[in-house]
Structure 1
Amino acid sequence: MLKFITFDLWETVIADSPELDSQRTKYRVGNTHTFLSKKHPAIAIERIFAAHKKTWQECSALWGKARDMAFPDQVRLFVGLIDESLLISLKQSEIQSISEIYAGAVLQFPPRLIEGARETLTHLSISGYKLGLICNTGRTPGFMLRKLLESHDILKYFDSVLFSDETIVRKPDAGIFEKSLRELQADKRQTVHVGDSWENDILGAQAAGIKTVWISPESQNQADCPVIKSIVELPEVLDKI
């Protein structure tokens, strides 16, 4: 009998778009440029755009190994790629100001809550399931994603919340799933993981010995686990697992 459910975040509980991502990029780059221009007017905005892109590329190489870096390290990487001398000349408080710009973009241009997600989480919680969240972060750190979840009034439903910039290990590594099991005090035989990424969520959870439900808008008959189009369909399949 299932007692525990862990969820992916992006495209499972919240939904993003290329337009929102682009707006967040412009926010980070533009506001970082405005901040740095006060003391470093020679730094062109194009240089900051390039550093923003390069930061993603370097992080992606690490993410491809199912590893992550702490958010302060990502910010320092970004600043150093703008100009390495800034890591020496800027005060810690100034780097913190850039960090706040970098992290805060998600609240300025927030992803939407998937339709029916709050109601589904409410139903599952009332039904007695213990819920966990396992999220691979990108540019937005866990502490800011917690604020986002609070703004959507859903953080309260999760008994365990894991973000890869804090755990340093990422999906699909079994380690992050095992950490979630420990925090939930869950038996993996009584646990199911729900997510939209075949590699990160489904194969990752299965490698940890956890049952899975795949969220895929297009039906995938070859999947060896239940497939649903949205989180709202989850309660219908739980009794069949």
Structure 2
Amino acid sequence: MIGPVDVVTFDFWNTLVVAQTEGTRERRRSSLLAVLIEHGYDDISEETLDGVFDQTVRAFNEAWQSNRQFTARDAAEHVVRSLPRDLSTQARLALIEAFVEAGSGVDVQLAPNVATTLATLDDAGVRLGIICDVGMTPSTVLRSYLERHDVLRHFDHWSFSDEVGVYKPDPVIFRHALEGLGEVDPSRAAHVGDLRRTDVRGAKSMGMTAVRYRGVQDDAGDDAHQIEADHVLDDHADLPSVLGL
């Protein structure tokens, strides 16, 4: 247990919301195929699209690891450039839009007990924020997921990488969160996330209490990122007591 905190920030994927990687990919595949057929490119197969998606994921991961922004629109444009056809301007624009918005139709679920925990923290007067490395689904869609589950109202501020311009563990995005939540002293703040490299390292380097949540996935880290959090949780329901609330 630590002393009471004024602020708690949360990672998004596999901390607040359970990642639906395959469901999102399937939705993107069907959306893009529909656009291609509509514009007369019905010779581009599902297999071709899957290969292009794999290339795009690799490009995102390389950018993410090196802290170079690779937004949802960047990913969409990468997909369009990688298709084995010269496309009309109308088809290109429609494909980009379909890719960016595909995630909005995916049925995502909150992590177990997180809704109750957010309400408990909110009722205790703790200011809540989000610090999220955005992948290929933009922050506008991510906020809609939280709104759909009626938990967005608990958050006082959010720091999404596609809006701030850097990824965790860069101190800029953590500083953006702390400033947005009232210029709080990092020693009075905790960050909850699932990844050692981004969440744990970023929080500890800022002087925040780091909480690693492994209720959805348990990040083993790698040889370079074996740093451990101050607290490790399997259940969000335990967070208030860990924070001394």
Q: What TM-score range do you get, normalising by the shorter chain?
A: 0.7 to 0.9
| Aligned positions, number | 231
Structure 1 unaligned segments of length 5 or more: list them. Answer: none
1:126 aligns with 2:123: yes
Aligned counterpart, 1:90: 89
Aligned counterpart, 1:47: 48
Aligned counterpart, 2:188: 190
Instruction: Read off the aligned partner of 1:101 and give its amino acid letter.
Output: A
The TM-score with structure 2 as length reference comes to 0.85
1:142 aligns with 2:139: yes
**CA spacing shift, 1:72–1:104, aligned 2, 3 Å:** closer
Residues 4-48 of structure 1, C-alpha deviation per residue, up to 9 Å, x if partnerless? 1111111211123xxx42232122122212211233233333222
Instruction: Read off the aligned partner of 2:154 and give its amino acid letter.
Output: Y
The TM-score with structure 1 as length reference comes to 0.86
Aligned counterpart, 1:169: 166
* Counterpart Cα distance in 1 of 2:15 and 2:45: 38
Instruction: Read off the aligned partner of 1:14 and give its amino acid letter.
Output: V
Aligned counterpart, 2:244: 239
Residues 129 and 155 in structure 2, CA contact (< 8 A), matched pair in contact too: yes
SS at the partner of 2:169? coil
Aligned counterpart, 2:31: 31
Identity of aligned residues (%): 29
**CA spacing shift, 1:118–1:224, aligned 2, 3 Å:** closer
Structure 2 unaligned segments of length 5 or more: list them. Answer: 221-226
Aligned-residue Cα RMSD (Å) equals: 2.2
Aligned counterpart, 2:106: 109
Instruction: Read off the aligned partner of 1:9 and give its amino acid letter.
Output: F
**CA spacing shift, 1:183–1:50, aligned 2, 3 Å:** same
Shift, 1:239, TM fit: 1.4
Aligned counterpart, 1:12: 15
* Counterpart Cα distance in 1 of 2:212 and 2:22: 28
Write the mapping of 1:195-214 to structure 2, written as runs, cut at 5 A.
195-214=193-212
> Which runs of structure 1 show a deviation greater than 4 angstroms over 4 or more consecutive aligned residues?
none
Instruction: Read off the aligned partner of 1:59 and give its amino acid letter.
Output: F
**CA spacing shift, 1:175–1:108, aligned 2, 3 Å:** same
* Counterpart Cα distance in 2 of 1:223 and 1:59: 25
Residues 69 and 168 in structure 1, CA contact (< 8 A), matched pair in contact too: no
Instruction: Read off the aligned partner of 1:233 and give its amino acid letter.
Output: D
Residues 171 and 204 in structure 1, CA contact (< 8 A), matched pair in contact too: yes
**CA spacing shift, 1:15–1:70, aligned 2, 3 Å:** closer
Shift, 1:223, TM fit: 4.2
Instruction: Read off the aligned partner of 1:22 and give its amino acid letter.
Output: E
Worse overlay, 121-130 or 46-55: 46-55
SS at the partner of 1:31? helix
SS at the partner of 1:59? helix
Shift, 1:111, TM fit: 2.4
Shift, 1:192, TM fit: 0.8
Residues 70 and 168 in structure 1, CA contact (< 8 A), matched pair in contact too: no
